[in-house]
Chains A and B, each alone.
Chain A
Amino acid sequence: MNDHRQAALLDRLATRSATSDDFRDLAAMAALDDGAWDRAAEALGAEAALERAVGERVAALADRVELPRRRGRLVAAAAAGWLAAAAAGVLAWAGRASPDVAPPAASAPPAVSGVELPRLLLEAIPLAGGTGIELVTLRRIVERTTVPSLFEIGVDEHGSPAVAPAVASRLKAPESL
């Protein structure tokens, strides 16, 4: 048996992948060479030390790192023809979105449900004649929009923006979108 085959045999013994043929070869080798068992023991001992050292080191490092939670921003795929409306939606969102979450854009214009919430009075200005008043109000209309797919914008390992699909059902509060 040449050196490479001997070494490969010892490696298979050390990594517990030796076959019955390998054990027969080892026995044959030991019958001719008194040092064969010692070399097998050395291989087993070295491999055990290696597995222990590497295993502990890697586990100590890896097992405390979990996937990051919601560090990116949420956006939705926007249909090309509706980018302007989506941009308007973004502006409307700006006042209530969390700092790291952007509003979804939609793939189709929102459908107006016909429901209008009570107006909000922003300002009341008496008219010059003293008998009338000018009101500035905010109209609130209920709309329903379907967003077919969500994506997250984050940062890749190079620090560049990267987009990946997001699962809406796993958002902490999807209804807030």
Chain B
Amino acid sequence: MAERPIADVVRRAIAGDRAAQDAVWREHRRFVAAVLLCHAPPGLDVEDALQDVALALVRRIGTLADPAKIRPWLRSIAIRATASAARRPGVETERLEDAAARDARGADDRDEAAVVLRLVEELPVELREPLVLRALRGLSQREIADALGLAETTIETRLVRARRAVRDALARRGRPTATIRETKT
């Protein structure tokens, strides 16, 4: 969705339009989920935290002064939600590599996805977050920089470092680049 329509929808959501709030949530929930997964400490129920953010959106979007700041606003709520949810007793461990998503894939894909997610999870959060947000597609480096409150050049540098780390690790494990090399003529 283009920036301008989204800004209009956010404005309506701030004014209390429930349909607009639904639209804002659907447009940003993957972004929020990615932020949660990147910041989730061990033992956090990420889906529970995601529902907390959804509830906070409904309750507090009226306090958002600038519609253009919807992503940083949601991100700050998400990061606080990880801290809040982590304090609850009896939470289940859930990180980037999730059992439900893993079971939904075939054996080969499952292995590859599990390896990639594990490698991403091993990155420091300052590299992991821009990499995961970029991997979602749809978000430019500038948009990621705005969401994280950093310079675009900083995001570019972090992405280069993160990708290099993942690529090198994958190459050491022989996947998936080995497959590509075999099919290349």
| A54 and B117 contact, CB distance less than 8 A | yes
Report the number of A-B residue pairs with Cβ-Cβ less than 8 Å: 181
Q: Is A46 an interface residue (CB 8 A)?
A: yes
| A57 and B163 contact, CB distance less than 8 A | no
| A68 and B135 contact, CB distance less than 8 A | no
Q: Is A44 an interface residue (CB 8 A)?
A: yes
Query: A50 CB to closest chain B CB, in angstroms?
Result: 5
| A50 and B116 contact, CB distance less than 8 A | yes
Q: Is A27 an interface residue (CB 8 A)?
A: no
- Within 8 Å by CB of B37, from A8, A44, A57, lies A57
CB contacts (< 8 Å) of B52 on chain A: these are 157
Task: From B1-9, B10-18, B65-73, give the one contacting chain A.
Answer: B10-18
- Main secondary structure on chain A at its contact with chain B? helix
Q: Is A22 an interface residue (CB 8 A)?
A: no
The residue in chain B whose Cβ has the minimal distance to the Cβ of A59 is B30
The residue in chain A whose Cβ has the minimal distance to the Cβ of B25 is A67
Task: From A114-122, A129-137, A160-168, give the one contacting chain B.
Answer: A160-168
- Within 8 Å by CB of A45, from B55, B57, B81, B179, lies B179
| B37 and A61 contact, CB distance less than 8 A | yes
Q: Mark A49-82, 1 if CB is under 8 A from B, else 0.
A: 1111111111111111111100110000000000
Q: Mark A123-153, 1 if CB is under 8 A from B, else 0.
A: 0000000000000000000000000000010
| A43 and B163 contact, CB distance less than 8 A | yes
CB contacts (< 8 Å) of B50 on chain A: these are 61-62, 65
| B112 and A49 contact, CB distance less than 8 A | yes
Q: Is A28 an interface residue (CB 8 A)?
A: no
7 A-B pairs with CB atoms under 8 Å apart are: A14-B163, A49-B176, A62-B33, A67-B57, A156-B59, A162-B56, A164-B61
